[in-house]
Each structure stands twice: as C-alpha cells, then as structure tokens.
C-alpha cells in the first residue's frame, strides 16, 4: 500500500495518536502519515508504510523512538515520530 491521501482510521481498535507518544513494549499499526513527499519516501526506503505493525522497543526524550518491524530495527527522530500516527493492536 502506498502513500496516497491521508487516511483516517476506520476500525474499532481505538483512536490514533503520534508514534512519539507510544510506550515501550507496545505493538502499534501505522494508520496515517502527516508528512511531505520526502518524509514518505524516506519511510518507504527504510521499509515502513501504512498498515505496517511495529513494536516500540524504546522511547527517548524529545520523542525519538526505536521501533522493530520483523527482524529490523529503526530509530526515528522526534519530528518524524510526531507525524506518524498509530493505533494500538
């Protein structure tokens, strides 16, 4: 699934929130990306896209987040993590 227009969560798993606010150990699904084309390209290049499920490994001050998808781990800066909206799985 690509990055078309912003998508609104349409299931009953709860409200979406910025990835920067997720807690360590949580498993979340990416439901919306509120960034420009370059940010979306960057996420695609590292293997993250809409509807991916990721585990929060560690949250740092100022919003930086370490996430795991499959066998890969990604460190996302606070600005990027604020623009990625997730819902709890």
Instruction: Output the pLDDT for position 63.
Output: 87
Q: What percent of the chain has pLDDT over 90?
A: 78
| Confidence tier at 24 by pLDDT (50, 70, 90) | very high
* DSSP run (H or E) holding 67: strand 65-69
Tens of pLDDT, residue by residue over 57-71, are 999 888 899 999 999
* DSSP run (H or E) holding 58: strand 53-59
Domain 17-88: assigned CATH number = 2.30.30.90
């Amino acid at each position: 699934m690509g990055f078309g227009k912003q998508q609104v969560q349409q299931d009953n798993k709860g409200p979406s929130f910025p990835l920067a606010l997720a807690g360590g150990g949580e498993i979340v699904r990416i439901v919306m990306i509120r960034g420009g084309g370059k940010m979306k390209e960057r996420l695609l290049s590292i293997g993250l896209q809409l509807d991916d499920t990721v585990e929060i490994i560690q949250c740092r001050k100022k919003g930086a987040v370490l996430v795991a998808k499959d066998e890969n781990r990604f460190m996302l800066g606070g600005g990027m993590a604020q623009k990625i909206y997730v819902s709890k799985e």
